[in-house]
Amino acid sequence: MAQTRGLGKRYIKAFFKGFFVAVPVTVTFLDRVACVARVEGASMQPSLNPGGRQASDVVLLNHWSIRNYDVRRGDIVSLV
C-alpha cells in the first residue's frame, strides 16, 4: 500500500513537471513559428472553400515568414 502511494506521487510529480515545460514551449511555438486556423465564408473563394461548400478549410499560418518579410505575390496573408 505504501509503495502504491509513492508510485502515485512520482507519477503526479512527473506529470506536473512535464506540464510546466510543455505549455510554455507550445505557446511560444504557436506565437512565433506557426499555428492552425480555420477559414470560413466566401471571402477567400475560389482559393479556399471552393464551390461554396459549407465545410471550412484548415490552413497552417506561418508566422516565421512574415517575421522575416518573406512574403511574395500570390501568398495569402491573414490579419487578426
pLDDT in tens, 27-70: 988 888 888 888 877 777 777 777 766 677 888 888 877 777 77
CA atoms of 72 and 66, how far apart (whole Å): 10
The whole model's pTM is what?
0.55
Q: Report CA-CA distances (Å) from 40 to 31, 47, 62.
A: 22, 12, 18
* The three cell numbers locating residue 23: 505549455
Query: What pLDDT score does 45 carry?
Result: 75
- Statement: residue 25 has pLDDT above 70: yes
The SS3 call for residue 8 is helix
Mean pLDDT of 7-14: 86
CA atoms of 48 and 45, how far apart (whole Å): 5
- Statement: residue 71 has pLDDT above 70: yes
CA atoms of 69 and 48, how far apart (whole Å): 23
The end-to-end CA distance of the chain, in Å, is: 54
